[in-house]
Structure 1
Amino acid sequence: MPQQTRQSSWDGVEASQTDVDAPFSLGAPRPARRLDRRAVHWWLTQNLLVVVPVLAALAAVALIPDAPSWLWPVFAVLCPLGVGYALLTPWYRYRVHRWEAGGDAVCATSGWLTREWRVVPFTRIQTLDTKRGPLMQLFGLSAVTVTTASAAGPVTIVGLDQRLAAAMVQDLTERVRALREDGT
């Protein structure tokens, strides 16, 4: 039976969303919020910036007069694989990546080959960071990194709207500060 999760109102909109694909564990929050849809275009652009030059270089080498004859069959195999990778993985990643900042923890699912589900209780948060690379800025996106003392490393939620990310960091900072002032 799918669980319904109420979204926080950082962006001024309260909504509930049902998600059957997210991992679930008794007592742990279940991430239900999707990333911004522009994340698909951001990942697609990243993929194309890698795949297109590689395929172009392979084709250029294959066009050299003394090039080995096996380069064209390699190109014929790698071209549809590379284009398929570039076009399909962003949509799959968008379907898998989720996040949630509930009453007492931040949780996120990520990955496209290997799925990772991480939960960070507010009491464990040490730092909150936002990151916006050049491509992310072009698409109006940000990444929020929640750092703890865990050996597993930080939890990063990529592909958030930049205003939502800023509001989320401010809200989480206030919640964590309130917990520390309470002496917990």
Structure 2
Amino acid sequence: MPNLRSPVHRVDPRAVRWWTLRGLCSAGLVLVVLLLVAWLWEPARGWLVAPIVLVAAWTAARALVEPRWRYAVHRWETTDEAVYGLTGWVVREWRVAPLSRVQTVDAVRGPLEQLLGLATLRVTTASSSGAINIVGLDKDVAEQVAERLTLVVEQVPGDAT
């Protein structure tokens, strides 16, 4: 039985840039649209002030607070018995997946992750809670861990159901 402690590895420091860019791309896009509407449609300016202020505050939180907070929280670890993940910034999730429950192991790289040399390690299990996603890993580390876990999981008895 795995012991209940925090995983030992931090994600790659470049993950802070990735989370910052994601925050700017999502919340920042909404802010740009609101500002554009206010600039082009003069009658809307008065009632758009409050939404613009709220979205600007949310964008600042997503770009300045969330990435650093996530970096402080996110941890991961793999052993010959289990995969551990600790994630979140508002709601924290601590998950352990015994290797006997692992069905697939993938290294996934979205466009921003590719740009920054990062990857997400996705460990799919037989759990109804879904996969454990370890985000913000160096792409080479993610590939090495995926290969190692695949080899270890092949040796674990059971059918992962």
TM-score, normalized by length of structure 1?
0.78
Aligned length: 157
Q: Which amino acid aligns with 2:27?
A: V
Which residue, 135, 138, 144 being the options, matches 1:161? 138
Could you give the per-residue CA deviations for residues 112-135 of structure 1, whole angstroms, max 9, x where no partner exists?
111111101111111111111111
Contact kept? 1:35, 1:98, Cα under 8 Å: yes
Aligned to 1:45: 21
Contact kept? 2:24, 2:62, Cα under 8 Å: no
**Whole-Å separation in 2 of the counterparts to 1:73 and 1:118:** 39
Is 1:142 the counterpart of 2:119? The answer is yes
Aligned to 1:55: 31
Alignment RMSD: 2.1
**Whole-Å separation in 2 of the counterparts to 1:95 and 1:53:** 26
| Ranges in structure 2 where 5+ consecutive residues have no aligned partner | none
**Whole-Å separation in 1 of the counterparts to 2:58 and 2:146:** 39
Aligned to 1:14: none
Matches within 5 A, 1:80-91: 80-91=57-68
Could you give the per-residue CA deviations for residues 13-66 of structure 1, whole angstroms, max 9, x where no partner exists?
xxxxxxxxxxxxx83353010000111101100111122221121122222222
Going from structure 1 to structure 2, the CA distance change for 1:81 and 1:177 (only over 3 Å counts) comes to: closer
**Whole-Å separation in 1 of the counterparts to 2:58 and 2:122:** 32
**Whole-Å separation in 2 of the counterparts to 1:106 and 1:88:** 28
Could you give the per-residue CA deviations for residues 67-116 of structure 1, whole angstroms, max 9, x where no partner exists?
25122243234323422332110110111110011231111011111111
Matches within 5 A, 1:93-104: 93-104=70-81
Which protein has the bigger helix share?
2
Q: Which amino acid aligns with 2:106?
A: D
**Whole-Å separation in 1 of the counterparts to 2:61 and 2:93:** 23
**Whole-Å separation in 2 of the counterparts to 1:123 and 1:157:** 18
TM-score, normalized by length of structure 2?
0.88
Contact kept? 1:143, 1:158, Cα under 8 Å: yes
Bigger Cα Rg: 1
SS at match of 1:153: coil
Going from structure 1 to structure 2, the CA distance change for 1:117 and 1:73 (only over 3 Å counts) comes to: closer
Query: How far off is 1:152 after superposition?
Result: 1.2
Aligned to 1:75: 52
Could you give the per-residue CA deviations for residues 119-174 of structure 1, whole angstroms, max 9, x where no partner exists?
01111111111111111100001111111111111111011101101110111111
